[in-house]
A and B are shown apart, each in its own frame.
Chain A
Amino acid sequence: MAKSYYDPADLRKFGKITEWSEELGNKFFDYYGKVFEEGALSAREKSLIALAVSHVVKCPYCIDAYTKDGLQRGITKEEMMEAVHAGAAIESGATLVHGVQMMNKYDKLSM
């Protein structure tokens, strides 16, 4: 067994998940492929969204994949970092907005 939970080489093997469940695996990859096609949003914009989400869900495979995807699309490092901040801002905002719940509870419990 691998000595760590994440192995970069596993990313290339992603497609193998279909081997243990062909129908669901194929449905997922069809869906995935379709999502990232040009649409109302450009493939470039979707690549940046994917990069931001990759950070929020803290997926090292996805971060590798969408950093490379961004480079291939000519996306600059400034654009990439802004996308990461957009994700981080929502994530920290989601934490902080719970501060209101804390304040409500505090006030309710206090005389």
Chain B
Amino acid sequence: MTQSILTDIKKAAKKSLKAQQDALANTQKQLEILNGGPFEDGELPYFKDKIAETGQFPLKPKTLEVLQINVGYMCNQVCGHCHVDAGPDRKEIMTRETMEQCLEVIRNTGAHTLDLTGGAPEMNPDFRWFVEEASKAGIKDFIVRSNLTIILANKKYHDLPEFFKKHNVHVVSSMPHYTRGKTDKQRGDGVFDKSIKALQMLNEVGYGMPESDLRLDLVYNPSGAFLPGDQAAMEHDFKKALKEDFDIDFHNLFAITNLPISRFLDYLIASDNYEDYMYSLVEAYNPAAVENVMCTNTISISWDGWLYDCDFNQMLDLKVASKVKHIKDYNDDILSNRDIIISQHCYGCTAGAGSSCQGTVA
């Protein structure tokens, strides 16, 4: 039974949930699930009540450090765990006008990190223009989250490693495992070989080399209904395997927990793992991780300019609880007074050593 459902998911995985008109493409439906089940039954505590135990409710922002901009949901891949529900059929793309509004904020903000994500951010037609303009703003750490395969997807992307180097971009790339089987199962057939080739191309221009300032970090997230292991141990295993098997170098590995939203939520429910997964997240709850959870130092901006506490809240359409809700009205002081919006998916960022777009936090 479960196996046949999983086969159906795999077949359907060439399309986003949105294109399939799946019930879970509706964010209200996702929130209903997150608020129901074992939480509604009182078997598990709501996230709000859990953080209240240590006096951390309401969750408030600290100094803004990271501006994370989602330049569009279009992607050349359709990964089984994707919280964005990204894919080739997603047409939401940031316009140059919105990018200009972002640039205005980037130039004036005190944030030290700019983090471009997607979809595949490189597929935005104004991506290169935006990177060129943003790199002039004097941001200390300029991250582009690349899925690697985009570099090989089309001739026009082959020079991306050189382009990244020219603008001193910090490349953060997804790599679910150092073995072909696990990577392809999560991200699609052939993804592993292309990712390896792309990493070698990045190494060739100097990215990820031990003494290099051209930062290349990898993101590991589990290929299934389990939590990531110890980040340092995983990094050690990845480094050893990728060096021995493919002569690949990289700097750091970020272990990121899959949050129970969007396509990963769909997978959890279809594979009958949802309840166990939520129990695992709650059991691994770590109050120390709440202290540094990424929504306290980040603002997430969507392709159409709306502001969110994080990329996950963006995908649940939970806009910031502030008078200022759009990049065109951006105001640090007003935003810093907001309460951060939380739900049960937040347990994903507070499990174990914690999880953020920069890896563990506790």
Binding site for B on A (CB under 8 A): 8, 12, 43-44, 68, 71-74, 76
Contacts and interface: CB of A to CB of B under 8 A. Distances in A.
B334 interface: no
Interface string B214-256: 0000000010101111100110010000000000000000000
B224 A71 contact: yes
Nearest to B177: A74
Contacts of A8: 276
Given A72-B222, A74-B233, 5 more contacts: A12-B279, A71-B226, A72-B229, A74-B177, A74-B237
B233 A73 contact: yes
**Which 4 A-B residue pairings sit nearest by Cβ, starting from the closest?**
A72-B229, A73-B229, A71-B226, A72-B226
A72 B233 contact: no
Contacts of A43: 233
A50 to B, nearest CB: 15
Interface of B: 177, 179, 222, 224, 226-230, 233-234, 237, 276, 279, 283
23 contacts: A8-B276, A12-B279, A12-B283, A43-B233, A44-B233, A68-B226, A71-B222, A71-B224, A71-B226, A72-B222, A72-B226, A72-B227, A72-B228, A72-B229, A73-B229, A73-B230, A73-B233, A74-B177, A74-B229, A74-B233, A74-B234, A74-B237, A76-B179
B307 to A, nearest CB: 34
A76 B181 CA distance: 10
A46 to B, nearest CB: 13
Contacts of B228: 72
B228 to A, nearest CB: 7
A89 B228 CA distance: 31
Contacts of B222: 71-72
B219 to A, nearest CB: 14
Contacts of A72: 222, 226-229
